[in-house]
Amino acid sequence: MEKIRIFDTTLRDGEQSPGASMNLDEKMMLARQLERLKVDVIEAGFPSSSPGDFESVKRIAQEVQETQIAGLSRTTPGDIDRAWEALKYARNPLIHVFIATSDIHLQYKLRKSREEVLEEAGRAVAYAKRHTQEVEFSAEDATRSDPEYLARVVEAAIEAGATIVNIPDTVGYIIPTEYGKLITFLRQKVKNIHKAILSIHCHNDLGMAVANSLTAVESGARQIECTINGIGERAGNASLEEIVMALKTRRDFFSYQVGVVTEQIYPASRLLSGITGILVPPNKAIVGANAFAHEAGIHQDGILKEKTTYEIMRPESVGISQSTLVLGKHSGRHAFREKIKTLGYELSEAHLNQAFQRFKEVADKKKQVFDEDLEAIIADEILRIPDLFKLVNLNVVSGSVTVPTATVQIEIGGKLYQEAGFGDGPVDAAYKTISKITKTKSHLLKFLVNAITGGTDAQGEVTVILEEEGIRVTGQGAHTDIIIAAAKAYINGLNKLEHQKRIKGV
C-alpha cells in the first residue's frame, strides 16, 4: 500500500489562528505530542517571522528527533539562511520555501511579473538545496493560478531540486471536483513530476478543506498538510483527525497506509485546546464531546445491542475511553436501565418504572441528566421510607417588595389538606405552612443546598436535619426548582421523624 504522508502545520499555520499564539514551553509540549502521534512532518514555525519563532523552531529541531522538522521560508536568501540556522539541529531537516503564483498576488502583493516569479522560485529552491537535501516548494494561492503557468513553476522548482511540491488552496476557494482535475492536470503536464512528492494544503473557508484533501489524494497527491482540530488562518485548515480517520475507517475506498498513531488523536486535541483556549465544538467530528455520544432512544438501544449499528469507529481508536450514553428526554428505557446498573443499583420493575417516570420529568427540564441526577432521583423516589405526608402542590410568591407567601397542598392518609402562610423568605414560608398542615413541632437544625451538577439548569439537592423529642433525622430532596427541593427535603425529614416515633412508641 502506498503511504500518505501527514504534514502537521499546527505550530506554524495553526498558530496563525487568531488567539492561538503559544509560548516556547507550550510549543514544546505540543511538538512532543505530535511526535507521539507519529506524524511524518512537524512544521515547527516560520523562523524569520520573529525571534520567538526562531527559538521555538531551533529547540524543536534539537529535541524532537523521531519526526522530520520543517521551517517555512520566503524565497529570499536571508529567510532561507535564517530557516537553516534554526533547522540544522534536526536529524532530518526540511526547508519549506513559498511564493505566490496567482495573478491576483503577483499584481497586488508581489508586484512582479510571471517570469520574475518563475525565476525566483527556481533560484530559491536551488539556494535552499545548498543547506539540505529535503526542500519543499509551495505555490501560494495555487488554486487561483493559471494552471498552465502553475505547471511551469512546479516544473522549475522540481528541476532546481525540490523534493516536495505543494499545491495549496490558500483561501479555501476550490471545489473538490476542480481540485481533483487540477492535480490530475499537473501530474500529466509536469514532465518531471515523478521526481517529487505531490502535496496539498487546504483551507476551510467554504467548509471543504477535508473533502478537497481527500479528493486530491484520489487524484495522486501523497502528502496532506493539516492541523490538529483544524485550527488556522480565518476558518482554519483541513483537520488532521478527520483526514486520518477517514483514510483509516474507509480503507475499502482509500487503499493507503497512514503512519499516525490514532490513539493519540484525542490527547493531542485536548492538549491543543488547553494550550490555546480555543474550545472544540461539541459536534466536531472525531474529537467533539458528542462524536461518540448517543441520546436518541433508538440509537441507544442499537448501540447496546451492537455498537456498529451507530458507530463506524471505536472511540478507543482515537483515544477516547468509551462511548457515552447521554441521558436526555429522547432516551429510552433500555439505556436508562443500563445506566442504573452501571451506577450499582438493582431495582425492581416497579421501582425502575417509578424512577424512569421521574427521570423523564427531570429530562424535560434539563438538556442532559448526569449520574448525580440519577442518584438523587433514586434516593428521592426509591430509597425512602413509606410516606405519611405527600407533597401534592406548592406555590410560593416572593420578591424584594412582597411578603413571602406559600400555598401548600399535602396528602395525609388519603385526604388532601391545603393551607397558606407567611415567612421571612420563600423557604421559611413553605416550612411554616407545612408545619401548620402536618401539626409537627420539629426543630430545623441544619439546612444545606448543593447543586448536583453544573449549569443554571442543574438539579438542586437540599439536605435538612430535623429534631423532635430527642429524635434526629436527615431529610433530602432534589429538584430543578430549589424551593420545591427544599419542601421535599423537609417533608422527607418529617416522614422519617414519624417513622422513628412509631418505632420508639413516642
Domain containing residue 90: CATH number: 3.20.20.70
Summarised one tens digit per residue, pLDDT across range 254-294 is 999 999 999 999 889 988 987 887 878 888 988 887 777 65
Q: Please check whether residues 372 and 422 belong to one and the same domain.
A: no
Q: Please check whether residues 137 and 41 belong to one and the same domain.
A: yes
C-alpha cell read off for 112: 512582479
pLDDT score at 375 = 62
Residue given cell 441507544 in the structure block = 300
Q: Per-residue pLDDT for 323 more than 60?
A: no
Per-residue confidence band for 383, with pLDDT thresholds at 50, 70 and 90:
low
Q: Please check whether residues 260 and 298 belong to one and the same domain.
A: no
Q: Please check whether residues 324 and 439 belong to one and the same domain.
A: no
Integer angstrom CA distances of residue 237 from 10, 76, 365, 381: 9, 26, 38, 51
Q: Which of 232-241, 438-447, 496-505 has the lowest mean pLDDT?
A: 496-505
pLDDT score at 324 = 54
What's the whole-model pTM score?
Answer: 0.68
Q: Please check whether residues 155 and 177 belong to one and the same domain.
A: yes
120-141 burial, b for 16+ CB within 10 Å, e for fewer? bbbebbbbbbebbebbbbbbbb
- Enumerate residues 6+ apart whose C-beta is below 8 A from 163: 133, 134, 135, 136, 195, 196, 197
Q: Per-residue pLDDT for 340 more than 60?
A: yes
pLDDT score at 342 = 61
Q: Per-residue pLDDT for 326 more than 60?
A: no
Q: Per-residue pLDDT for 330 more than 80?
A: no
Of 276, 307, 340, which one is at a domain's C-terminal end? 276
Q: Please check whether residues 315 and 438 belong to one and the same domain.
A: no
Q: Please check whether residues 50 and 74 belong to one and the same domain.
A: yes
Q: Does 284 map to a domain?
A: no
In DSSP terms, 223 is beta-bridged to 5, 199
How far is residue 152's CA from residue 463's CA, in Å, rounded to a whole number?
Answer: 78
- What average pLDDT does the segment 47-65 reach? 96
Q: Which candidate, 276, 337, 388, 382, places its Cα nearest to that of 10?
A: 276
Q: Per-residue pLDDT for 316 more than 90?
A: no
- What average pLDDT does the segment 69-80 reach? 98
Q: Does 288 map to a domain?
A: no
Summarised one tens digit per residue, pLDDT across range 203-255 is 999 999 999 999 999 999 999 999 999 999 999 999 999 999 999 999 999 99
Of 355, 381, 407, which one is at a domain's C-terminal end? 381
How far is residue 82's CA from residue 60's CA, in Å, rounded to a whole number?
Answer: 15
Could you give the 3-state DSSP secondary structure of residue 207?
coil
Q: Does 193 map to a domain?
A: yes
Summarised one tens digit per residue, pLDDT across range 294-309 is 555 666 666 557 767 7
pLDDT greater at residue 333 or residue 468: 468
Crossing angle, helix 240-249 and helix 209-218, to 10 degrees?
40
C-alpha cell read off for 381: 423516589
Q: Does 287 map to a domain?
A: no
What mean pLDDT is reported for the chain? Answer: 88
- What average pLDDT does the segment 158-182 reach? 98
Per-residue confidence band for 479, with pLDDT thresholds at 50, 70 and 90:
confident
Q: Please check whether residues 173 and 207 belong to one and the same domain.
A: yes
Identify the CATH number of the domain in which residue 463 sits.
Answer: 3.30.160.270
pLDDT score at 349 = 83
Q: Please check whether residues 45 and 110 belong to one and the same domain.
A: yes
Integer angstrom CA distances of residue 47 from 54, 100, 109, 226, 464: 4, 19, 21, 19, 64
Per-residue confidence band for 401, with pLDDT thresholds at 50, 70 and 90:
confident
Q: Which candidate, 382, 492, 127, places its Cα nearest to that of 500?
A: 492
Q: Please check whether residues 173 and 36 belong to one and the same domain.
A: yes
Residue given cell 467554504 in the structure block = 206
Q: Does 84 map to a domain?
A: yes
Q: Does 176 map to a domain?
A: yes
Q: Per-residue pLDDT for 322 more than 70?
A: no
Amino acid identity at 56 = S
Residue range(s) defining the domain that contains residue 492: 389-504
Q: Does 285 map to a domain?
A: no
Could you give the 3-state DSSP secondary structure of residue 287?
coil
Q: Does 283 map to a domain?
A: no
pLDDT score at 118 = 98
pLDDT score at 18 = 75
Q: Please check whether residues 182 and 303 belong to one and the same domain.
A: no
- Enumerate residues 6+ apart whose C-beta is below 8 A from 251: none
Q: How many domains does the chain have?
A: 3
pLDDT score at 384 = 56
- Enumerate residues 6+ apart whose C-beta is below 8 A from 377: 355, 358, 359, 362, 478
Of 250, 276, 302, which one is at a domain's C-terminal end? 276
Q: Which of 97-111, 213-227, 293-307, 441-455 has the lowest mean pLDDT?
A: 293-307
Summarised one tens digit per residue, pLDDT across range 343-365 is 556 677 887 888 888 888 877 87
Q: Please check whether residues 23 and 101 belong to one and the same domain.
A: yes
pLDDT score at 17 = 81
pLDDT score at 299 = 63
